[in-house]
With several copies, the nearest count.
Chain A
Amino acid sequence: MARLGILFFDGPYQKQSPETVCNLASAALDKGHEVRIFCYMDAVNAVLENQKKIEGIYNIEEGFREILEKGASVKLCNLCLLVRGTMKNCLKRECGDVKRAGTPDLAKIIEETDKLVVIC
């Protein structure tokens, strides 16, 4: 089994990328791979709580809850959260391995995974 790193930049409900991240992570986890995700820039807002469900629209919070449950590791750029004022709204530790992190943690992900993909 291999280790996959995923980096993305976009928040929820504007572009498709957060949904793609969830689908790709889910497929990799189902195949038994390890998945480590880094949320940079607006992507930190993809992992906020209390995203209301709208019929017909993929709920990004649920997507992240699912892959966290399956064992994905999710790191949120600390400074990106701070500057956006959304620090206190993130999914909590109870949901799985979701943590605030610094940019050097992306270097760690690059070092410790076999492949890194970026979802633009």
Chain B
Amino acid sequence: MSEEKNVVILLRQPPHGTLYPVEGLRMSVAVSADFDPITVVINDAVYAFIKSVDKTMYSMHVDFLKGIDLDIFVDKKSLEERGIKQDDLIDQVEVKGHDEILKLIADSTVTIPF
């Protein structure tokens, strides 16, 4: 049964103003023991993955997820609205078009927003 559940951890809040993105990534790591969670990044949460942001609190989570081949997908539309280019982002994340992001969320069994 567990293999059938698509877990999406949905990050939507920016880093540093709250601990939500950090705690969301910590949850992605924890859930990865039993599932293959997809981390989806929308709205101001995209700021968490620009190269220049201080990632002291969560770089280990990002590296862990990358190390076990779990995806972090960033919404292209949210980037464009904020004038952020793909080049501004760290290598561990992958940019997806808004339609694909919508489909990932729509196809989830469980969506956990942070």
Asked if chains A and B are in direct contact (CB within 8 A), the reply is: yes
- In the complex, which residue of chain A has the Cβ closest to the Cβ of B18? A15
Known A-B contacts A103-B26, A116-B110; A16 and B34 likewise in contact (beta carbons under 8 Å): no
Tell me which residues across on chain A come within 8 A of B17, comparing CB atoms: 15-16
Size of the A side of the interface (Cβ < 8 Å), in residues, is: 21
- Select one of B5, B20, B23, B57 contacting A110, CB under 8 A: B5
The A/B interface has a contact count, at CB < 8 Å, of 57
B19 touches A (CB below 8 Å) = yes
Against B, the Cβ 8 Å flags (1 = close, 0 = not) of A87-111 are 0000000000000001110111011
> How far is A36 from B19 in the complex, measured between Cα atoms in Å?
24
The interface size bin for chain B is 20 to 34
B27 touches A (CB below 8 Å) = yes
- Which residues of chain B have a CB within 8 Å of any CB of chain A? 1-2, 5, 7, 16-20, 23, 26-27, 29-31, 33-35, 56-57, 110-113
- Which residues of chain A have a CB within 8 Å of any CB of chain B? 7, 9, 13-16, 40-41, 56-57, 102-104, 106-108, 110-111, 116, 118, 120
A-B contact pairs, 19 of them (CB 8 A): A9-B20, A13-B19, A15-B17, A15-B18, A16-B16, A16-B17, A16-B18, A40-B23, A40-B27, A41-B23, A56-B56, A102-B30, A103-B26, A103-B30, A104-B30, A107-B31, A110-B7, A111-B35, A116-B112
